[in-house]
Homo-oligomer: A and B are copies of this chain.
Amino acid sequence: MDDLETRELRYFVAVAEELHFGRAADRLGIAQPPLSRAIRGLERRLGVRLLDRDRRGVALTEAGGVLLREARTALDAVAAAARRTRRAGDPRRPLVLVTKAGASHELLRRLLDTAASEPGAAPVEVLLCEVGEQARRLRDGHADVALMHRPFDDLAGFDTEDLCVEGQVALLPAGHPLAARDQLTLAEVSDVPDLPLARWPRLDGSYPDGPGPEVRTQSQLAQLVALGRTLLVIPASSRAWQWPDHVAVPVVDAPDVTTVIAWPPTGHSPAVASLVRAAARLRETGLPVPAG
Contact = CB atoms under 8 A, between A and B. Distances in A.
Interface of A: 3-7, 9-10, 46-50, 61-63, 65-67, 69-71, 73-75, 77-82, 84-86, 88-89, 141, 156-159, 264-267
**Of A6, A71, A77, A158, which is in contact with the most chain B CB atoms at under 10 Å from its CB?**
A77
Contact of A267 (B47, B50, B69, B80): B69
A10 B6 contact: no
B70 A9 contact: no
A247 to B, nearest CB: 39
A243 to B, nearest CB: 37
Contacts of A75: 3
Contacts of A89: 46-49, 61-63
Contacts of A66: 84-85, 88, 267
A74 B78 contact: yes
A61 to B, nearest CB: 8
A154 to B, nearest CB: 8
A81 B70 contact: yes
Contacts of A267: 66, 69-70
A86 B48 contact: yes
A278 to B, nearest CB: 21
A264 B70 CA distance: 11
Nearest to A91: B62
14 contacts: A4-B78, A46-B82, A48-B85, A49-B89, A62-B89, A63-B85, A65-B88, A67-B84, A67-B85, A70-B80, A70-B141, A73-B81, A156-B265, A157-B264
